[in-house]
Amino acid sequence: MKLTLKIWRQENATVKGSMQTYSLDGVSPDMSFLEMMDVLNEQLMENGIDPVAFDHDCREGICGSCSMFINGEAHGPDRLITTCQLHMRKFKDGDTIHIEPFRAKPFPVIKDLVVDRTAFDRIQHAGGFVSVNTSGNTQDANALPIEKESADKAFDAAACIGCGACVASCKNASAMLFVSAKVSQYALLPQGQVEATDRVLNMVKQMDEEGFGNCTNTGACEVECPKGISLENIARMNREYLTANLKG
């Protein structure tokens, strides 16, 4: 396959970036998208050009590192996968592929396609945890019976890998799906009840401080989420938030 790649190039966080065009020949349909990027980078380095910086780690859809906006969609045209799970067979010989970083004010570009997603870490630090006494008296988690439906929903919410595709896809750059998944995974379990009020208030406060947009329920986040996190979580977080505010 021969491809034309239009890629966002930006030297660092302080300079302006722009789209640059590269031609790449000999791409196998069996390659993953990131392998195609590796081939491009080898070609660029052979020609004395700075390789394209992009995030990647596990390359099996678990870590949530890869974060490319491909042809107008987070993680590309396929559903329920991350960029590293996208294969070149999804494209045709002669295609032009636009590759941009995830765009959001709270996700500033560090270099090329690498964005700073530590805003998500700060939201997690604000309340995405349960405080457990680990001084030798830790209770066996299975000692507390939990109904299957709640356990399943908590697990589904916990499947969020924090990649940021929800923010990237949302026309408002809202982080509600991410935050609601992190709130839900504890709200559904008895272990999460003790800190429930503070958790939702602090996490939403941090989300707003980071400068993410507001949720207008377009549903784009749910469609583009590689882990299929449901909008039901946003409704749950809204209930939790309302209840927490009423409790004071």
| Candidate residues 61, 64, 106, 127; the one interacting with other proteins per rule CB under 8 A | 106
Tokens of residue 71, six digits: 């042809």
Q: Taking the CB of residue 10, how many other CB atoms lie within 10 A of it?
A: 19
Q: How far is the CB of 9 from other proteins (least distance, A)?
A: 12
| Closer to other proteins by Cβ: residue 26 or 219 | 219
Q: Is 100 in the site for other proteins (CB under 8 A)?
A: yes
Q: How far is the CB of 237 from other proteins (least distance, A)?
A: 8
Whether the CB-CB separation of 9 and 52 falls below 8 Å is answered with yes
| Closer to other proteins by Cβ: residue 2 or 79 | 79
Helix (DSSP H) and strand (DSSP E) numbers for the chain? 8, 7
Q: Is 90 in the site for other proteins (CB under 8 A)?
A: no
Specify the 3-state DSSP secondary structure of 244.
Answer: helix
Q: How far is the CB of 113 from other proteins (least distance, A)?
A: 13
Which position has the token pair 């923010």? 167
Whole-number Å distance between alpha carbons of 244 and 80: 33
| Candidate residues 69, 91, 120, 186; the one interacting with other proteins per rule CB under 8 A | 69
Q: How many degrees, rounded to 5, is the angle at CA 127 between CA 124 and CA 132? A: 110
- Taking residues 188 to 227 in sequence order and writing x for each that binds other proteins by CB under 8 A, - otherwise, the string is -----------------------xxxxxxxxxx--xx---
* Dmax (CA) of the chain: 63
Helix/strand/coil percentages in the chain, nearest 5:
40, 15, 45
| Kind of pairing between the strands at 73-74 and 68-70 | antiparallel
| Candidate residues 67, 82, 83, 174; the one interacting with other proteins per rule CB under 8 A | 174
Whole-number Å distance between alpha carbons of 237 and 187: 8
| Closer to other proteins by Cβ: residue 92 or 239 | 239
Q: How far is the CB of 230 from other proteins (least distance, A)?
A: 8
Q: Is 239 in the site for other proteins (CB under 8 A)?
A: yes
CA 8 to chain centroid: 19
| Closer to other proteins by Cβ: residue 46 or 147 | 147
**Which residues are at the interface with other proteins (CB under 8 A)?**
6, 8, 19, 69, 71-73, 77, 98, 100, 103-106, 108, 169, 171-174, 211-220, 223-224, 231-232, 234-236, 238-239, 242
